[in-house]
Amino acid sequence: MHRHARRSLTITVLLISPMFGCGEGGGEVTDPEQPPDDTPAGIGVVSGISQSGVVGSELAEPLVAKVVSRVGAPLPGITVSWVVEAGGGSFASETSVTDQDGLVQTTYTLGDTPGENAMVAVVTGTSLSARFLAMALPAQVLWFARRERGGGP
């Protein structure tokens, strides 16, 4: 009977010890593979994708992205760099900082050559990025489209 009591005590200790952890500190147990909740874990396009305009003109809508933590919470105060990937256009600002909702935005001026413009928002210091696309149209295409609809020159 004494042997049975000892076995129960051992089982109880094994079940309780993971709850309290081992070692110093006695604080919250964290997973070393997971970043803290205030570390950027993702960035995504919110609006401003798939626009078009005349070469050399500013797009009608700003490019807007959102930075979130690993649990999907918006992250304020995160610096995002804006990079032209293709098309040769330019941004109103090369970097922006997220607001309280994790949102960041800038305006973009299309390059001088007709064709696709690709822009990327990169969370500074990481490989996290979101890609935006826009089409730069030659001025003649828009003039022709207006004329076909019955508009003036």
**pLDDT tens for each residue of 52-92:** 999 999 999 999 999 999 999 999 999 999 999 999 999 99
Give the Cα separation of 36 and 71 in Å (integer): 10
Count how many Cα atoms sit within 13 Å of the Cα of residue 144 in the half-sphere of its side chain. Answer: 5
8 A C-beta contact, residue 59 and residue 48: yes
Degrees, nearest 5: CA angle 111-116-121: 80
| Number of neighbouring beta carbons within 10 Å of residue 84 | 16
Side chain identity, residue 27: G
Quick one: pLDDT band at residue 38, thresholds 50, 70, 90?
A: confident
Cα(37)–Cα(71) distance, integer angstroms: 7
Q: Average model confidence (pLDDT) for the chain?
A: 81
The full DSSP string for the chain is -HHHHHHHHHHHHHHHHHHH-SSS-------TTSPPTTS--EEEEEE--SEEEETTPBPSS-EEEEEE-TTS-B-TT-EEEEEEEES--EES-SEEE--TTSEEEE-EE--SSSEEEEEEEEETTSS-EEEEEEEEEPHHHHHHHHHHTT---
Q: Which tens digit of pLDDT belongs to each residue from 58-67?
A: 999 999 999 9
Does the global pTM surpass 0.85? Answer: no
CA distance 144 to 85: 29
**Residue 25 confidence (pLDDT) above 80:** no
Name the pLDDT band for 149 (thresholds 50, 70, 90). low
Mean pLDDT throughout 109-114? 97
